[in-house]
C-alpha cells in the first residue's frame, strides 16, 4: 500500500472520529444537530453534483419512493445516534455503531435469505457479547441514561443498515455523489418537519453552535470524498477495516478533549466488539477471494 494511501486513510478516520466530539460539544437538541448536519452536507456536495446534474432526472417514480424512504431512515439514524451521544460515552456509542457491517449481514439474511456461514454467526455472537459487556458496565439502578444511550446507538445501527439496504437495492443508476446529495437533502427535510412539529427552535443558537453544525457537515464529507477516491486504490474491505479505527480515535479524542475516561467494561467490551467485526470483515474478504 502506497504511503499516500495510508496517509489519506488516517486523515479520513480522524475526520470521522471528530464527528462524535462535535456532537458532544454541542448543547443543541439532537434533532437540530442532525438536521443541519444533513442540510449543510447536501449544500457542500452541490458543486460536485452540478457536474452530474443530468442524473437528477434519471430516477423513476419507484426509485424516488426508495430515495424518500432511505432519506427517512438516514434522518432517524442521525437522530438516534446524536441523541445517544448526549446520554452515553463517546466510546460506548461509537463502538456499538461499529456493528453496522454485521447488522447488514443479519438484515440480508432476514430479508433476502442470504446464507450465513458459521464464521459469520461466530462474529455476530462475539460482537453481541462485547456490547453486553459495555452495557453491563454502564448499568446502574440509579442512572439508566447510559443504557438508554447505548440502546439509541443500537437503533442508529438498525436504521442506517435499513438506509443502506434500501439504497443499494433500489437505486442503481445514480453516482454516489448524486445519491448522497438527494438523500441528505431528504433527511434534512424530514428532520425539519419533525423540529417544526415539536416546535423546536430552528435558528436561535449562538455562533459556537453554528460552527459545530458546519464542522459536523465538513469533516464527515471530507472523509466520504477520500473514501470514494481511495476505492480506485484499495478494496472496499480495506476501507471498512480502516473505519474500525473510528471508535478508537473517537475515544482518544474524548479522553483529551472531553476528559472522558474508559472503564474496564468499555475497554474489554470494545475490544471484543472490534474483534468480532474484524473477524467478520476478514471472513467476508476470504469468501469473495474464494468466489473470484
**Across residues 112-117, what is the average pLDDT?**
70
Q: Could you report the per-residue pLDDT of 229-261, keeping only the tens digit for each?
A: 786 777 666 676 677 778 888 888 998 999 988
pTM for the model: 0.85
pLDDT value at residue 292 = 43
Taking the C-alpha atoms of residue 190 and residue 34, their distance in angstroms, rounded to an integer, is 10
Q: Could you report the per-residue pLDDT of 199-221, keeping only the tens digit for each?
A: 999 999 999 999 999 999 999 88
Domain, as residue range, for 271: 3-291
In the structure, what pLDDT confidence band is assigned to residue 123 with cuts at 50, 70 and 90?
A: confident
The closest alpha carbon to 271, from 283, 262, 284, belongs to: 262
Q: Could you report the per-residue pLDDT of 14-64, keeping only the tens digit for each?
A: 998 899 999 999 999 999 999 999 999 999 999 989 999 999 988 888 889
Mean predicted lDDT score pLDDT of the chain: 85
pLDDT value at residue 200 = 97
pLDDT value at residue 187 = 96
pLDDT of residue 276 exceeding 60: yes
Q: Could you report the per-residue pLDDT of 134-188, keeping only the tens digit for each?
A: 777 766 555 678 889 989 999 999 998 888 888 766 667 788 888 889 999 999 9
Give the total number of structural domains in the chain.
1
In the structure, what pLDDT confidence band is assigned to residue 1 with cuts at 50, 70 and 90?
A: low
pLDDT value at residue 290 = 45
Amino acid at each position: 500500500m502506497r504511503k499516500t494511501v495510508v496517509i489519506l486513510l488516517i486523515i479520513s478516520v480522524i475526520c470521522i472520529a471528530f464527528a462524535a466530539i462535535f456532537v458532544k460539544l454541542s448543547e443543541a437538541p439532537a434533532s437540530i444537530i442532525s438536521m443541519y448536519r444533513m442540510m449543510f452536507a447536501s449544500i457542500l456536495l452541490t458543486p460536485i453534483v452540478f457536474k452530474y446534474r443530468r442524473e437528477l432526472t434519471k430516477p423513476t417514480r419507484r426509485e424516488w419512493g426508495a430515495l424518500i424512504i432511505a432519506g427517512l431512515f438516514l434522518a432517524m439514524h442521525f437522530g438516534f445516534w446524536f441523541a445517544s451521544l448526549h446520554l452515553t460515552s463517546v466510546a460506548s456509542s461509537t463502538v456499538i455503531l461499529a456493528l453496522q457491517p454485521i447488522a447488514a449481514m443479519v438484515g440480508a439474511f432476514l430479508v433476502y435469505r442470504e446464507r450465513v456461514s458459521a464464521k459469520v454467526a461466530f462474529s455476530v455472537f462475539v460482537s453481541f457479547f462485547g456490547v453486553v459487556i459495555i452495557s453491563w458496565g454502564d448499568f446502574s439502578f440509579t442512572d439508566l441514561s447510559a443504557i438508554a444511550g447505548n440502546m439509541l446507538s443500537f437503533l442508529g445501527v438498525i436504521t442506517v443498515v435499513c438506509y443502506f439496504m434500501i439504497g443499494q437495492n433500489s437505486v442503481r443508476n445514480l453516482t454516489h455523489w448524486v445519491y448522497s446529495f438527494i438523500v441528505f437533502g431528504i433527511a434534512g427535510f424530514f428532520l425539519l418537519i419533525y423540529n417544526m412539529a415539536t416546535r423546536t427552535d430552528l435558528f436561535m443558537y449562538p455562533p459556537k453552535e453554528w460552527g459545530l453544525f458546519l464542522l459536523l457537515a465538513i469533516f464527515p464529507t471530507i472523509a466520504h470524498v477520500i473514501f470514494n477516491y481511495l476505492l480506485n486504490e484499495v478494496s472496499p474491505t480495506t476501507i471498512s477495516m480502516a473505519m474500525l479505527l473510528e471508535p478508537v480515535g473517537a475515544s482518544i479524542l474524548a479522553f483529551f478533549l472531553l476528559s472522558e475516561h474508559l472503564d474496564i467494561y468499555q475497554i474489554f467490551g470494545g475490544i471484543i466488539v472490534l474483534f468480532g467485526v474484524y473477524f467478520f470483515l476478514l471472513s467476508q474478504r476470504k469468501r469473495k477471494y474464494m468466489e473470484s
